[in-house]
Chains A and B, each alone.
Chain A
Amino acid sequence: MLDLVWLIPALPLAGFLLLLAFGRRLGEPGAGWLATIMCAASFAASVIVFAGLLARAEDNRRFVQILFAWVPVGALRVDVGFLVDPLSITMALFVTGVGALIHLYAIGYMHGDDGFPRFFVYLNLFIFSMLMLVLGNNLLVTFVGWEGVGACSYFLISFWFSDEANASAGKKAFITNRIGDWGFMLAIFVAFASVGTIDYVGMNTRLAQGAAVTATAVGLLLFVGAVGKSAQIPLFIWLPDAMAGPTPVSALIHAATMVTAGVFLMTRVNPILAAGYTWVPHLIAWLGVITALVAATIAITQNDIKKVLAYSTISQLGYMFLAVGVGAYVAAIFHMVTHAFFKALLFLGSGSVIHGVDDEQDMRRMGALRKYMPVTAATFIVGWLAIAGVPPFSGFWSKDEILLSAWASGGTQGRALWAIGLATALITAYYMSRQVFLVFYGEARWQDDAPAEIPAEGGGAEAAVEPAHDEAGGHGVRPHESPWLMAAPLVVLAVLATVGGVINLPFSENTEFLARWLDPVVGANELAIDVPTATKVTLAAVAVAAALVGILGAAVVYLWRRVRAVEPAVLAHGYYYDESISRFVGGPGMALFNAVAWFDTHIIDGAVNGVAALVAGGGRRLRVVQSGFVRSYALGVATGVVVVLAYIITRINF
C-alpha cells in the first residue's frame, strides 16, 4: 500500500493539468468539482498510505520511494523521491483533508467570478506543491514544493489582479519569501559540502554525528527559510497583506497549510537542531514567543475581519516555533493540526460573513449577525472557543501542551517563555472575543454610513485590504446565510475543531496517540517533560483562567460596553514596522538602486562615450586618414592594440 504514495501528489497534479487544458470549457462549477474531487482523491490515497504505515511495526515506519534521478551531477545525487514516515503522512493527511473541504467551500465562494476555472487551476497546483514539500525525501524536492507554494501564493494573492493593491501584495509575499529561501538554499549548499548528501535520512544522521558547528549552520540557515515561509519576525510583514487574496486562499494557504511549512521543516531536521549549539533552539523559541506576543497585540486593534485572523495566524505560528525551540516537536505538530482546523474554520467563517454582507470586511460595519447567519455564527463561535483555549475544544489541549513544555524546558528561561506564552494566550482570548462580539453580537451596524461605532485611533492600517464596498454606503445590505456548499465545510471543520484534541490527550500514555505515532521521527530529541501531575493541573488551570479573563475583558469592553476600548495607534499600525520598511525601501533603497543605474549610464557608459568623443576629436584633426568607414576606424584601433600588446608580451613578466 505504501508504494501508492506517488498517487498523493500525482492526483492534484493531474487535476492541475486537466484544468489547464479544459478548465475554461468545464467552466463553473465543473472546474471546481474536478479540482475538489482530485483533492479528495488525494486525501483517500493519503488514508490508504497511512493505513499501510500504521500496519507496520513502530520501528519500521519509514518508506522511501524514488521516482527518477532529477539532478545527478558528480557527487551530487538528487532524486525525485518521497519519504513516507509518520511526520510526512500526518502532514499529507491534514493538507489534503482540510484542502478538500476548502476546495468545496470555494465552489460556493467563487460563484460568479470571471476567473472561476483559473482559481481552481492555482488551487490544485498549490496542493500538489504542498505535497511535494511535505513528502519529499530530500531538501531539494522539499525546496521545489517550498518555492512552488510560494508561487501559488503569489498567483492567488494577486488573483484579482486588476487592483494594484492586490498585485503589490502578491509581489511582496513572493519577494519576502525569497529572502528566506536564500537561507534555505545556503543550507543545502553547506549540507552538501560537508556531508555530501541532502537526503533527509542520510543528512540528518551524518550531520548529527559530525561537527556541531556544521549542524548549527545548517539548522540556522534552514530556520532563516522557515522564518520567511512561516511569517515570523522579522519577515512577517507579507502575511497581513496576503489577505488581499480570496478568502479560501487565506484559509488554505495563509493559515492551515503553507505557513506551517517552516514548523514542518524544523521538525523534519530535528536531529540537526539537536546536534548544533543550543543557542539555535533557544533563538527559535524566543523568536517564536516574541512573534506570538507582538502579533497578538497588533491583532487587538485591527478592524478588518481578515486582518485580525492574519495577525492571529502569525501569533499562533509563533507558538509552534516556541514548541520547536524547546524541543516539544509533538506539541508543535499537534498545535499545527488543531490550528489548521480552527483557523481554517475561522477564515472560512469570515469569508461567509463577508459574502453575507456584500463584501464588507470592516468589523465596525457588522454586528448582530448571529441572527441572520446562524450556521456561520455557531461554527465561528466554536472556532473562537478553540483558539481562545477553552476546554474541551481542540486548541486548549495543544496550546496547553506547548505552555507546559515551555515550563518544563527548565530554568528561568523556561519560566519566562511560559509567562510570555501565557500572556499571549490571554491576549488571544481577548482579541478573538472582540472579533466575535463585534461581528455577531451588539447592534447591527451594516446600515451605517460611517464606521464611527468603535472609536479607533488611526484605523489606517488596512491599506492593502480596503474592501471594495459599493459607494452607496452600506445601505440596502441584507445579511444572509451562505449556501450549503459553504456551510457544510464549516460544520465539518467545527466538529474537528471541537474534538481535534483527542489525537493527543495528556491523560495517559495510551491517549497520547500523536506522541506515540511521531515517536520514530522526533522521539530521540523530544523534550522529556518531568513535571508532577499537580503542577500540570495547576498550569492548565492557570491557562484556562487566562482565557476566561481575556474573554471577560473583551465582553466588558465590546459586549456590555462598560469600559471604553483602548486601541492605541502604535498597535493599529503594527508598531510602524511595515511602514518603516516601506519607507526605507521607497527612500534610501530606491535611492541606492537609482544611484547604481546612474553610475551605469553616466560613469561606465560615460567613459565609453568619452573615449569615443576623444577619438572623434582626434579624427577631425587627422582628416587625411578619415575614410568614413567603420572598418578603417576599427582597423586603426586594432593595429594599435596589436602593436602595444606585442611589445608588452615580449618585454614584461607578471
Chain B
Amino acid sequence: MSPAFPILTAMVLLPAAGALAVALVPRTRPELFRGVALLFSFATGALTIYLLAAFDRHDAGYQFVVNRSWVSDFGIAWHVGVDGISLFLIVLTGVLFPLAMLGSSPHHDPKPYYAWLLLLEAGCLGVFISLDLFLFFVMFEIVLVPMYFLIGGWGYANRVYAALKFFLFTIFGSALMLVGIVALAYLHRNAIEDQHRAQATEIVDQAQGNPTPAQQAEVAQLREGVPLSFDLVDIAESHTVVDDSKSANPIDWSAARWIFLALAVAFAIKVPLFPLHTWLPDAHTEAPTAGSVILAGVLLKLGTYGLLRFGLYLLPDAALFFAPGLVTLGVIGIIYGAICAAMQKDLKRLVAYSSVAHLGFIVLGTFAITTQGLQGGLLQAVNHGLSTGALFLLVGMIADRRGTREISRLKGLQKPAPLFAAVFMVVMLSSIGLPGLNGFVGEFLVLIGSFLTRRWWAIVAASGVILAALYLLWAYQRVFQGEPDEDNRHFPEINWREGLVMAPLVALIVFLGVYPKPVLDRMAPSVDKLIVHVERNSDFVSPKPGRPAENAQEGGK
C-alpha cells in the first residue's frame, strides 16, 4: 500500500460495504450471512492492525490525513486523520467487532443483525477518525441507529424499553451537540471576520488617508468575508497569538463555555457520567451479547474521546472552567457505580454498573491534564474495552447455557467448568486492577496523574479500587464457588470456539499489563502536544513532580 492509499477512508467504507453485501445476500442462503459479515469485520480488523504497524510513533500530529471538501457551501469536509490519541481506540474497535461477532450469534434474523453490526462498526471508526465537526456529528448519529435496532430487535425481555431509553437519552445529547457545533462554527467565523475588520481599520488608520496600493489590496482582502468552516483543527488551533507563550481563543469566552457545556452534556450522556447514566444498565443488560460488548467496549469511549478531542482540545479554556465539575462527577461515578454494582441481582447488570465506575477513572484522568492522567485515561479506555468486553462475552455464555443471569440461580460453576472459571478469574482480576494485568496500569496512571493536580479527588477515587474487589469477588463467590446444585452441576466447559474468542483477549490483558510501553510510547507525543496546547490557550500550568519547592506543602496528612 502506498502512502497515498486512503487507509482511513477505506476503514470506514469496508464495513459499510460489508453491511451492503450482507443485505444483498439472498435470504435463501442464510448460511452465508455470518461468513460474509465475519469476513468483512476481520478484514477491517486487519486494516486497523496495519494502521498500527504503519503509524509513525514519533509524530505527534495527525497521520494518514485525507481532507476533501464535502459540502463546500457550509465548509464541511471529509477531513480524517489519526494520532496517538485515537490510534488505539481504532485498533480496539477493529479487534472487538470480529471477536464479538465470533463469540455470539443472534437467535433469529441473522441478516439484518449482521448488517446493523457492520454499519455500527463503520460509524464507530468514523467517529474516531473524524477531524471535521460536522463529519463527527454525522458519524456519531450513524452509531445510534444500528445500536437502537440491535437492542430492540435481538435483546432480552425488556428490550423495547431499554432501546427507547437509550435512543431518547442519546438523541437529547445529539441535539445539544448539533447546536454546539453549529454555534461554534458560526461564532468562530464571525470572530475571525471581526478580527480582520479590526486589522483593516488599523491599516486604514495608519495610512492616514493615503494608503499605498498594497495596503489597499490588503484591506480589501481583510474586508472580504471568511468562509464557514467546521474543521476541528482549524478552529482548535486558530487561536490568536498573544505573546510567545500564550494565545487566546477568538470566540467570546462566555460563548465558548456555553458551547463546551452543550458538547459536554452530549458526551457525558454517552460516557455515561453520573447522574446521566441510567440508560446504561438497561441498555447493557437487555442488549444481545455482541451489542453489550460493543456498547461497553467501544460506544462508551465515544463519550470520553469526545470530551478529550472535542472538549479539552477544541476549547481548552472552557474545559478548564468545567473540569472540577466533570472530575467530581467522574469520582462520584467511581464510588457510586461500584456500590450499585455490588447490589445487583443480575450478573449482566452488575457488569454494566462496573462500567460506570471504570469510565469515571477515564474522565478523572482526562481532566487531570497531566501526561500520566491523560495517557492513563486512554489506556484505561482500551483496557476497559478488553476486560469488560470479555466479561460481557463470558456472561453471555453463562446466560446462553443456563437461560438465566440471576446470580442467585448460579452456583459452584468452577467445579463443572474449571477452565471457564479460570478465564473468568483472569478477566475479573484485570477488571479489579491487579498489577501485572492491563487494568492496573491504566488505573494507576490515572490516579498518580490526577494526584498531581487534583489530590483529594485522586485519594477518594483510589478507594474505588477496594470497592471493585468487593463487588467482583463477591459475584465470583456466588457464581463460581460453593457446591453446585442440580441445575448447575452439568454446566458445559468452555468450547473451542469460545476459547478462540477469549484467547486473544486474555493474551492482550496479560501483555498490556506486563509491557504497556509500546502503547504508551505511541500515545506520548500526541498527549504531550495536547498538554502544551492547553497550557498555551489557558492559565493552566502542568505540574512538575519532584520540585523541591513543592515539598513544603506536600501531603500534610
Contact = CB atoms under 8 A, between A and B. Distances in A.
Interface of A: 68-76, 118, 140, 143-144, 147-148, 151, 154, 158, 161-164, 167-168, 171, 174-175, 178-179, 181-182, 185-186, 188-190, 192-197, 206, 210-211, 213-214, 217-218, 220-221, 593-594, 596-597, 600, 604-605, 608, 612, 630, 633-634, 637-639, 641-642, 645-646, 648-649, 652-654
B195 to A, nearest CB: 20
Contacts of B441: 71
A218 B440 CA distance: 21
B545 A188 contact: no
Contacts of B148: 630
Contacts of A174: 469, 473
Contact of B372 (A74, A161, A179, A633): A74
28 contacts: A68-B515, A70-B515, A71-B444, A74-B524, A74-B528, A76-B372, A118-B418, A147-B436, A148-B436, A151-B434, A154-B473, A161-B481, A162-B482, A178-B469, A194-B554, A196-B545, A196-B546, A197-B546, A206-B546, A213-B552, A213-B556, A214-B555, A630-B168, A634-B168, A637-B172, A638-B174, A641-B172, A641-B175
Nearest to A145: B435
B524 A175 contact: no
Interface in B171-195: 171-172, 174-176, 178-179, 183
A82 to B, nearest CB: 16
B107 interface: no
A502 B164 CA distance: 76
Closest 6 CB pairs of A and B: A196-B546, A638-B175, A217-B555, A74-B371, A597-B343, A167-B481
Given A174-B473, A594-B343, A645-B179, A637 B447 contact: no
A164 B465 CA distance: 24
B179 A195 contact: no
Given A73-B375, A148-B435, A593-B343, A637 B171 contact: yes
Given A73-B445, A175-B470, A634-B171, A642 B178 contact: yes
B204 interface: no
B535 to A, nearest CB: 14
Determine which residue in B257, B440, B520, B551 has the highest number of CB atoms from chain A within 10 A of its CB, and name it. Answer: B551
Contact of B556 (A148, A217, A653): A217
A211 B473 contact: no
B209 interface: no
Determine which residue in A158, A218, A634 has the highest number of CB atoms from chain B within 10 A of its CB, and name it. Answer: A634
A75 B451 CA distance: 14
B263 to A, nearest CB: 11
Interface string B474-487: 10010011110000
B255 A194 contact: no
Do most interface residues of chain A lie in helix, strand or loop, or is the interface mixed? helix
Contacts of B445: 71, 73, 76
A178 B464 CA distance: 10
A182 B451 CA distance: 13
Nearest to B448: A189
A214 B278 contact: no
Contact of A75 (B168, B470, B545): B545
Contacts, number: 223
B517 A69 contact: yes
A417 to B, nearest CB: 26
Contacts of A143: 435
Contacts of A168: 477
Nearest to B463: A182
Given A193-B554, A196-B545, A649-B258, A179 B466 contact: yes
Determine which residue in A154, A189, A213 has the highest number of CB atoms from chain B within 10 A of its CB, and name it. Answer: A189
Interface of B: 148, 164-165, 167-168, 171-172, 174-176, 178-179, 183, 254-255, 257-259, 262, 275, 277-279, 321, 336, 339-340, 342-344, 370-372, 375-376, 412, 414-415, 418, 429, 434-436, 440-441, 444-445, 447-449, 451-452, 458-459, 462-463, 465-466, 469-470, 473-474, 477, 480-483, 514-517, 520-521, 524, 528, 543-548, 550-552, 554-557
Given A73-B371, A162-B415, A194 B546 contact: yes
A86 B482 CA distance: 45
A196 B546 CA distance: 4
Contacts of B458: 189
Determine which residue in A147, A181, A185 has the highest number of CB atoms from chain B within 10 A of its CB, and name it. Answer: A185
Do most interface residues of chain B lie in helix, strand or loop, or is the interface mixed? helix
B555 A171 contact: no
A275 B383 CA distance: 39
Nearest to B433: A147
A91 to B, nearest CB: 19
B183 A194 contact: no
Given A144-B436, A189-B451, A73 B556 contact: no
A607 B336 CA distance: 17
A638 B428 CA distance: 40
B511 to A, nearest CB: 13
A175 B452 contact: no
B427 to A, nearest CB: 14
B277 to A, nearest CB: 8
Contacts of A161: 414-415, 480-482
A185 B465 contact: yes
Given A604-B278, A646-B183, 14 more contacts: A72-B517, A74-B375, A75-B546, A162-B483, A175-B473, A185-B465, A193-B543, A211-B552, A214-B551, A612-B165, A634-B167, A641-B179, A645-B179, A649-B179
Determine which residue in B342, B548, B554 has the highest number of CB atoms from chain A within 10 A of its CB, and name it. Answer: B554
Contacts of A593: 339, 342-343
Contacts of B520: 71-73
Nearest to A76: B372
A186 B462 contact: yes
A116 B258 CA distance: 64
A70 B344 CA distance: 36
A608 B165 CA distance: 9
Contacts of B168: 612, 630, 633-634, 637
Nearest to A648: B258
A511 B451 CA distance: 48
Contacts of B167: 630, 634
A140 B370 CA distance: 19
Given A217-B555, A642-B175, A181 B465 contact: yes
A642 B259 CA distance: 12
B116 to A, nearest CB: 16
A329 to B, nearest CB: 24
B553 to A, nearest CB: 9
A608 B278 contact: yes
A605 B254 contact: no
A654 B340 contact: no
A167 B482 contact: yes
A237 to B, nearest CB: 15
Nearest to B436: A144
A182 B342 contact: no
A641 B554 contact: no
Contact of B275 (A147, A185, A604, A641): A604
B128 to A, nearest CB: 22
Contact of B465 (A163, A182, A630): A182
Contact of A596 (B176, B340, B473, B516): B340
B226 to A, nearest CB: 20
Contacts of B524: 73-74
A218 B545 CA distance: 15
Contacts of A654: 254, 257-258, 321
A283 B515 CA distance: 39
A214 B176 contact: no
Nearest to B555: A217
Given A70-B517, A162-B412, A190-B554, A210 B175 contact: no
B462 A185 contact: yes
Contacts of B370: 74
Determine which residue in A163, A179, A630 has the highest number of CB atoms from chain B within 10 A of its CB, and name it. Answer: A630
B481 A158 contact: yes
